[in-house]
Amino acid sequence: MQTKRFAVVQNARDAAQLWQYLPRNYEIIGPDFGEPGKPVYLIAGEDNAGWTLDDYVIPRLASGLIIATEITDKVHEAVKEVGVR
């Protein structure tokens, strides 16, 4: 069984731009929760073959000057508690 991984994403112009950079095994799991004009998104997914958060998703986003930071275990537990799938 694979573990779902989460990351906070900043610097995407909007959700449409972010979707263009994500492989099918990762998705945006909530609305923009940043300040006006500075969108912030939460993404989640399960690593599959070479389509991993570390080796594909984060570097691919960085190629578009989009910053993704994996959520730590402590924050991950908090995210699960508030019901994020």
* Position 78 pLDDT exceeds 70: no
The answer to whether residue 76 sits within a structural domain is no
| Rounded Cα–Cα distance for residues 31 and 69 (Å) | 17
> Is the sign of the CA dihedral 37, 72, 29, 33 positive or negative?
negative
* Position 1 pLDDT exceeds 70: no
The answer to whether residue 82 sits within a structural domain is no
Lowest mean pLDDT among 8-12, 41-45, 55-59, 78-82: 78-82
Give how many domains the chain has, as a whole number.
1
**pTM strictly above 0.95:** no
CA distances from 3 to 37, 52, 58 (A): 32, 12, 17
Q: Which domain holds residue 50?
A: 1-30+46-71
pLDDT digits (tens, 9 = 90+) for 23-53: 999 999 988 888 888 999 999 999 999 899 9
The answer to whether residue 25 sits within a structural domain is yes
Check residue 84 and give left, alpha or beta (phi > 0: left; psi -120 to 50: alpha). Answer: beta
> Is the sign of the CA dihedral 67, 72, 78, 79 positive or negative?
positive
